[in-house]
């Protein structure tokens, strides 16, 4: 299992509109690509958010990155050209305890 994580640091005046966009538009549209088994959206503070996209295989994640990521990133940048900094990381799950 792989997790593709995107963290957003948002300037305070944009926080509410970014969260609404993520929850109502951006994440559901990414989910519709079928590349991810599960998507989780977290908030650390009023201005810091993280989305965790769970991919079953590297091929599924690579398909998202090759076929979809550029368009989603461009749409996000068009809506929020300033005031949001994004960082992206890919994590490979090594072990889980439940």
pLDDT at 50: 98
Half-sphere exposure at residue 36, Cβ-oriented, CA atoms within 13 angstroms: 22
pLDDT at 31: 98
Residue-range domains of the chain with CATH: 2-92 (3.30.70.100)
Q: b or e along 44-58 (b: 16 or more beta carbons within 10 Å of the residue's beta carbon)?
A: eeebebebbbbbeee
Of 53, 1, 4, nearest in space to 28 by CA: 53
Is the pTM here over 0.85, yes or no?
Answer: yes
- Encode pLDDT of 10-66 as tens digits: 999 999 999 999 999 999 999 999 999 999 999 999 999 999 999 999 999 999 999
The Cα–Cα gap between 5 and 76 comes to 16
pLDDT at 42: 98
- Encode pLDDT of 63-87 as tens digits: 999 999 999 999 999 999 999 999 9
Of 30, 20, 8, 29, nearest in space to 83 by CA: 8
């Amino acid at each position: 299992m792989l997790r593709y994580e995107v963290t957003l640091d948002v300037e305070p005046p944009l926080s509410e509109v970014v969260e609404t966009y993520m929850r109502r538009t951006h994440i559901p549209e990414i989910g519709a690509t079928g590349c991810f088994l599960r998507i989780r959206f977290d908030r650390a503070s009023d201005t810091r958010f993280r989305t965790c996209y769970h991919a079953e295989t590297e091929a599924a994640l690579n398909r998202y990155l090759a076929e979809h990521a550029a368009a989603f990133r461009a749409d996000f940048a068009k809506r929020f050209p300033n005031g949001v900094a994004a960082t992206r990381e890919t994590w490979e799950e090594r072990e889980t305890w439940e």
